[in-house]
Chains A and B, each alone.
Chain A
């Protein structure tokens, strides 16, 4: 994508297209990541609702899983799970 100079932009500098924006990948994976116990999980989606990094997504079978490229290991999902279905375990 070509970067525009200041004079090439419209009046008011409204950005109608992104210049240098690219997806940001946190490089380092966290030490601990969430692991779901499917026997205890009731698919209430609380972990999905409270994830600040948008790492948790719903799978085809209705259960949830985390993308470890986005997860930062904060443990909110582990803390907020009412049924104790999420445990924080070491990531490979």
Chain B
């Protein structure tokens, strides 16, 4: 057995940077898992305080401030789109657990933030999910080393708000990718690449049946959403391996 004892998980740094002494997130929290891997990917680069209790300073907003925190992504994107000079270097990460949206429909399930960010001149834009940790770590490293502003959109399953057993956190995130409702791709300088593509996608009902919040979906709505998901994925697929950078005059008007 010792001959084959080298696995990919053993190659990760075993040092914990995010809250090595415990945190107050819920049991089976997807956001905590994502933040842990982001900090593990950044490692010593993001370390600012040598004698801090936590290795990297972090904060967690209360429920009353979640709107400010979660709503920060869109205004920030717009402010950068409007500004004439590009910021030299910035890493912006949206940990999306889909909790503050009022109603669940296809406009929130099919994400538009990455394409907005790419159109506003970000050097590196990617979507990620903590169910695929090595993909996530690679994208964080690329975003950190990008020659310009970078944006990451990370889908974090939330057992409390979505309504599933805490032990299924990783499974539900994997289902989101396998049903193609949240495809994992990256846009490096306007150049699209789908990093993880499921050749035989699951039907959408596998994703909706796993969660209590989507239990109100009837078969008609699921069929309509399935078509929306398929068309969104084929649109993404048509952009793959093509440079779709917008001209600078259009970018200034957005």
Contacts and interface: CB of A to CB of B under 8 A. Distances in A.
State yes or no: do A and B come from one complex.
yes
Interface string A37-48: 000001111101
Contacts of B170: 50, 76, 79-80
Contact of A23 (B14, B18, B22, B25): B22
A54 B10 contact: no
Contacts of A26: 22, 24
B171 interface: yes
Contact of A73 (B22, B27, B171): B27
A15 B168 CA distance: 37
A76 B179 CA distance: 21
Interface stretch (B48-56, B100-108, B192-200): B48-56
Most chain A beta-carbon contacts within 10 A, residue among B7, B10, B27, B57? B27
B148 interface: no
B29 A52 contact: yes
Nearest to A17: B49
Contacts of B7: 42-46
Given A43-B10, A52-B36, A75-B166, A24 B21 contact: yes
Query: Interface residues of B toward A: which range?
Result: 35 or more
Given A52-B25, A52-B30, A18 B5 contact: no
Given A26-B22, A52-B32, A75-B28, A21 B52 contact: yes
Given A53-B32, A54-B16, A74-B27, A79 B10 contact: no
A54 B36 contact: yes
B20 interface: yes
Given A76-B170, A79-B170, A54 B9 contact: no
A87 B49 CA distance: 39
B210 interface: no
A57 B54 CA distance: 17
Contacts of A30: 27
B21 A23 contact: yes
B166 A74 contact: yes
Contacts of A23: 21-22, 53-54
Interface string B4-20: 11011110101010111
A91 B202 CA distance: 38
Contacts of A16: 49
Nearest to A73: B27
B218 interface: no
B135 to A, nearest CB: 12
B12 A45 contact: yes
Nearest to B35: A52
A77 to B, nearest CB: 9
19 contacts: A18-B54, A21-B53, A23-B53, A24-B23, A26-B22, A26-B24, A44-B7, A49-B133, A52-B32, A52-B33, A52-B169, A69-B22, A72-B28, A74-B27, A74-B166, A74-B169, A76-B28, A76-B170, A79-B168
